[in-house]
Structure 1
């Protein structure tokens, strides 16, 4: 901790934005299904309990994580983070899963769009859902309510957070589609991209064998025999 950080009031922290993976890696992930990425990450990664509030199911959210941790029902530090983001970033907010007060609404959407934000992931509530349904700003959240937020703090920006069951670090790659949202560790993005591509190739072979009726029965029979079934 440096001298400046030591002077922050308790509960407040604003760290610099962390660079994410290279642009070509980010763009490649835009074509990777979240479910396949999750399979390549051992099937234990990804969001739990989020729903999309943008209208079109085929909209993909993809970009570098700027993380925010807030007190439930308070969005002061979300406003500050929106002043720090770069085009293509994804704002990922740990709001503790609270649904009693919205953390973002339609007025904030008018800030997100001109800054080129790639989208938002909110472990909390939103409001003005008809405005978020418009094209151009993907958003995933835990729920919605008409009740608005306070702006008192405290909060932290660009710190490790937990969001809807995911551990998210600043600079992670965030991908979201109709199946949910996943955080890909920035340092591992290239390797996970290669594993995701390999997994999709494997799935393509299985689909073809299912279609032609040539699937190998040993794929599951071997597992059942190993469990003691007389197959």
Structure 2
């Protein structure tokens, strides 16, 4: 049941780890999360700039963005505002003004399991914004809503303080506790793929590629 909870922000993830993940493909991170972690149906609405940061989570009633406005007063530089809108696409929860406020306050991006509007303006922006759909109909502002609680985005669980990474392929989230090992494994895969692509460019490919591998 949706309540009116307002919990303190979780500690932010190590900025060096966050920066390192921002430089890596989400597909490779996903592979090393056993291909079972990811927000299904959520796609970028901005210019494709990569995103990484610490989750500040919000859960709202379908079509209502009051709690998102409140979260904007709590956002810290390098936070990603992650909004569980229940997958509702009937009303936009944010648009150009709210994403501009988030960007002004240093947020690393927004991820919404719901709709957005001002799609053309968002598409020109480098501020990362991921959502399920675009629609012109605006939101209600009545509540209720919760801040810094576990949320679900496209079937993916996100806890406050998780590291959230997004690019043109979509969004993944994971606990900072596993981040160092995940970073090492993802870098190793990225290096291996670069080696394979170099071989293909030279006209050579054996088909030998140890898992995890891309589809």
Q: Is the TM-score greater than 0.5?
A: yes
SS at match of 1:156: strand
CA distance in 2, matches of 1:147, 1:123: 16
Aligned partner of 2:129 among 136, 139, 153: 139
Aligned partner of 2:179 among 189, 198, 214: 189
Q: Report matched runs for 1:39-118 at 5 Å.
A: 39-54=31-46, 56-57=47-48, 59-118=49-108
CA distance in 1, matches of 2:204, 2:126: 44
Q: Give unmatched runs, 5+ long, in structure 2.
A: 211-215
1:20 and 1:186 in contact (8 A); partners too: no
Structure 1 residue runs of 4+, over 3 Å off?
A: 208-220
CA distance in 1, matches of 2:89, 2:147: 21
Aligned partner of 2:163 among 173, 183, 195: 173
**Residues 218 and 132 of structure 1: is their aligned pair in 2 closer, same or farther, counting only changes over 3 Å?**
closer
Q: Report the structure number with the largest CA radius of gyration.
A: 1
Coordinate RMSD, CA, aligned: 2.0
Q: Give unmatched runs, 5+ long, in structure 1.
A: 1-8, 221-231
Aligned partner of 2:150 among 146, 160, 174: 160
Please say if 1:18 is aligned against 2:13. no
CA distance in 2, matches of 1:91, 1:10: 18
CA distance in 1, matches of 2:78, 2:187: 23
Match of 2:190 in 1: 200
1:119 and 1:137 in contact (8 A); partners too: yes
Match of 2:213 in 1: none
Q: Deviation at 1:211?
A: 4.2
Q: Deviation at 1:155?
A: 1.1
CA distance in 1, matches of 2:179, 2:110: 20
2:2 and 2:145 in contact (8 A); partners too: no
